[in-house]
Chain A
Amino acid sequence: MTENDRAILKVSELSSRAIPWSRTLDVLIIVVAAFLVWSVSHISFLLLGGDWDFFIDWKDRQYWILIIPITTIIMAASFQAIFWNLFRLPVGATASLLLLLLGTWIVRYHSWQGLAYFPLSLVVPGTCLMGALVLDAILVLSRSWLVTGMFGAVLYGLLFYPANWIYMAGYFQPVMNMGDMTSVADLIGYTFPRAGTPEYIRIIERGTLRTFGDTPTWVSAFFSAFVCIFLYYMFWGLGVLACNARFFPVGERFKLIYGNKGKAAGKAVGAAAAQPGAAS
């Protein structure tokens, strides 16, 4: 235990008996919160961004780069708001994206490969985890949701493509198939048939986005960054609403055990929590 930890415990006025129980509570809540964050992040991503990150031959230069960051920042911002406002913990975004990545890989092995026989090369996922780390780091440094949204969300949107291109580039090498030039990703998608997904269903770049230079990649990345800003603010606000203490009544006995002096103290808890953004 560091000096800082001791100082926090002193300020929190927990009795020496309550401290180990407080740690037990921490562990329980971490486990429960992890499952909650995991399931909410995973389901929200499946509903909003799903197809674009399922298959290697959906990872195009226009829509993939746009859609994945904007669908994942929703959960990242909400959980950041909740953990920051309640506990000043800057781990919401990281936890959301890390658990999403873990869940995604489990599903890839169990369901895509195990049940549907898809090869892993067809279903490798991308991740916004690096952007989430930046988002959390900027929140610590600025301690302001306004600054985090302005710079953190922009970096979140911009970092997705380069962070994932590092390991996806190999899939876009040119290869010949039946006399036509195509990418390795297209070849994988063609070779391993997906019964319900005809080729024309793909919503990928059709080449109509006029760009500076050959590729719409960075145009899409900047647009994604731009949209991320607004979604960040919107869902930070939703996160703040979600952690209003009015919705979480705390029992009197619980309060007594953990050193809150009964009803009067309880009122103060509610009041303090109702102004979550006060410090920013």
Chain B
Amino acid sequence: MSLHRMSLRRFGLSILLAAMTAATTLVSLPAAAHGERATEPYIRTRTVHWYDVTWSSEKIGVNDKVTVEGKFHLFTDWPDAASKPELAFLSNASPGAVMTRVESYINDMPAQQSVRQLEIGRDYPFKMVMAGRVPGRWHLHPVLNVHGAGPIVGPGHWVEVTGSAADYKLPVTTMTGEVIDDLQHYGVARVQWWQAGYALLAVAWIVWWIRRPLIVPRWNAIRKGREDLLITRTDDRVAAGLLVLVLVVVIGGYRYTTQKYEYVVPLQAGSFKTKPLPQVPSLVAVEMKDATYDVPGRSLRLDVEITNQSESPMRLGEFTTANLRFLDKSLDVAVAGVDPSFPKDLVAGSSLKLSDSSPIAPGEKRTLRIEATDAAWEIERLVSFLTNVDSRVGGMLFFFDAKGQRHMAEVFGPIVPVFTQLQLAQSH
């Protein structure tokens, strides 16, 4: 091939590459979601377990409300690398202020501030009411920000906000009686007018100086020692006048403002404490004997010893960790336990496999092999056990008794990644 043609090809190729790069940066990507996959697996599987989370609607208009409520359990085997929840804040994950927070509660305590000393091993109900503000399709998750551990994200559900952003308004009345038409724009005009006034003074001052011969003439004049020409008596007068004007404006404005807004409060920095849900005596004792993750098989296998300490036969219905739910689809009450509004992509397609799915009799101690198989382990980036410093896994087991009542138990322990074939496992 001639040199000329080769360089043409190379040229064409580089144009194509440039165009592709430009295209990927200019074309907006679909709405942001699933950022929680960046959080380390040991945080997502062993800190906050969210359950019974419901979203009151999937589609709301601007100004309409959607309620996210549920519970979270603080895992006993909290990882060393993450700080204990001494200070936390209930929030939501959304790209900026596309939805506004109307109310939030942790066990009925208003959660505007941060919450102190949440107890490990206990459960807390939460509730968040959000209002639509910017039209679009947004992934709405509850989040518990833990000081020193970071945001621990709950399950997310797509909520569509319809309407026009201009319709959003938030009127508020202060305790001093001032009526604010819309909190979004409150006080902005006043700030801008005053700062424009300040800027006008500044521009006038700068123009007063730069209207003269500037760089070289002044430079030369300094060399010749003729500074008296550069700063004249008139300049002194203007500067003195400016000094007095600025001080008078600020002092006068400040006095006027303090008389107008006599009753002001500082930013509220306190935090609150809330009680967990009453502790339920654990009727099922669970101990993990062995845990492996079959890397190519995408299957988490747990060998657990379960002791039924209740008076009713128990069946294992669900294993959940990091917002993923694995159900024993043969157990109707377990399947019914999934709220219809719960996002489908967080419920594993295949059923939870148990080595013995017969009910565990009262008093019986049984060793069970539990297999949770789904591509979700990889998609959700939960299986970096090979590169973790803390190779332990955690999760919640939901048992159901004869009456259909649910009993929860934690399961945790070290985990080893293995590379066996799925067929070998099935023959186990």
Asked if A91 is at the interface (CB within 8 A of a chain B CB), the reply is yes
Rounded to whole angstroms, the CA-CA distance of A133 and B266 in the bound complex is 29
Determine the residue in chain B with the shortest Cβ distance to A94: B202
Return chain B residues, CB-CB under 8 Å to A19. Answer: 213
Known: A166-B257, A205-B269. A174 touches B264 (CB 8 A): yes
Rounded to whole angstroms, the CA-CA distance of A86 and B199 in the bound complex is 25
Determine the residue in chain B with the shortest Cβ distance to A19: B213
Contact between A86 and B185, CB atoms less than 8 A apart: no
Contact between B267 and A133, CB atoms less than 8 A apart: no
Contact between B188 and A143, CB atoms less than 8 A apart: no
Instruction: Using C-beta atoms within 8 Å of the partner chain, give the interface range for chain A.
Output: 35 or more
Contact between B267 and A205, CB atoms less than 8 A apart: yes
Contact between A188 and B183, CB atoms less than 8 A apart: yes
Contact between A173 and B264, CB atoms less than 8 A apart: yes
**In the complex, what's the smallest C-beta–C-beta distance from A12 to chain B, in angstroms?**
4
Contact between B199 and A120, CB atoms less than 8 A apart: no
Determine the residue in chain B with the shortest Cβ distance to A25: B215
Asked if A47 is at the interface (CB within 8 A of a chain B CB), the reply is no
Contact between A174 and B265, CB atoms less than 8 A apart: yes
The segment from A38-46, A66-74, A193-201, A228-236 that touches chain B is A193-201
Residues of A155-210 contacting chain B, CB below 8 A:
155, 159, 162-163, 165-188, 190-196, 198-200, 202, 204-207
Rounded to whole angstroms, the CA-CA distance of A2 and B215 in the bound complex is 17
Residues of A6-30 contacting chain B, CB below 8 A:
7-9, 11-14, 19, 22-23, 25-26, 29-30
Residue from the list B186, B199, B238 in contact with A101, Cβ < 8 A: B199
Asked if B405 is at the interface (CB within 8 A of a chain A CB), the reply is no
Asked if B203 is at the interface (CB within 8 A of a chain A CB), the reply is yes
Return chain A residues, CB-CB under 8 Å to B21. Answer: none
Rounded to whole angstroms, the CA-CA distance of A4 and B229 in the bound complex is 7
Contact between A175 and B199, CB atoms less than 8 A apart: no
Rounded to whole angstroms, the CA-CA distance of A237 and B94 in the bound complex is 47
Contact between B271 and A269, CB atoms less than 8 A apart: no
Main SS of the interface on chain B? mixed
Instruction: Using C-beta atoms within 8 Å of the partner chain, give the interface range for chain B.
Output: 35 or more
Asked if B296 is at the interface (CB within 8 A of a chain A CB), the reply is no
Determine the residue in chain A with the shortest Cβ distance to B145: A198
Contact between A12 and B221, CB atoms less than 8 A apart: yes
Asked if A150 is at the interface (CB within 8 A of a chain B CB), the reply is no
Contact between A202 and B254, CB atoms less than 8 A apart: no
Contact between A192 and B265, CB atoms less than 8 A apart: no
Determine the residue in chain B with the shortest Cβ distance to A141: B239
Residue from the list A4, A138, A168, A178 in contact with B110, Cβ < 8 A: A178
Asked if B258 is at the interface (CB within 8 A of a chain A CB), the reply is yes
Return chain B residues, CB-CB under 8 Å to A59. Answer: 267
Determine the residue in chain B with the shortest Cβ distance to A179: B110
Asked if A48 is at the interface (CB within 8 A of a chain B CB), the reply is no
**In the complex, what's the smallest C-beta–C-beta distance from B269 to chain A, in angstroms?**
5
Asked if B63 is at the interface (CB within 8 A of a chain A CB), the reply is no
Return chain A residues, CB-CB under 8 Å to B236. Answer: 140-141
Contact between B145 and A200, CB atoms less than 8 A apart: yes
Asked if A97 is at the interface (CB within 8 A of a chain B CB), the reply is yes
Return chain A residues, CB-CB under 8 Å to B96. Answer: 115-118, 194-195
Q: Which of B227, B238, B269 neighbours the largest number of chain A CB atoms within 10 Å of its CB?
A: B269
Asked if B190 is at the interface (CB within 8 A of a chain A CB), the reply is yes
**In the complex, what's the smallest C-beta–C-beta distance from A75 to chain B, in angstroms?**
15
Known: A137-B243, A192-B97. A8 touches B187 (CB 8 A): no
9 sampled A-B residue pairs with Cβ under 8 A: A4-B229, A86-B219, A121-B188, A122-B97, A129-B201, A171-B186, A198-B88, A206-B269, A258-B216
Given A58-B267, A181-B175, 7 other A-B contacts at CB below 8 A? Answer: A8-B217, A8-B218, A117-B133, A133-B201, A134-B247, A159-B246, A167-B195
Binding site for A on B (CB under 8 A): 87-89, 91-103, 105, 110, 112-114, 133-134, 145, 147, 151, 170, 172-176, 178, 180, 183-188, 190-191, 193-195, 198-199, 201-203, 205-206, 209-210, 212-224, 226-227, 229-232, 234-236, 238-240, 242-243, 246-247, 249-251, 253-254, 256-258, 260-261, 263-269, 271
Which 3 A-B residue pairings sit nearest by Cβ, starting from the closest? Answer: A198-B145, A12-B220, A119-B184
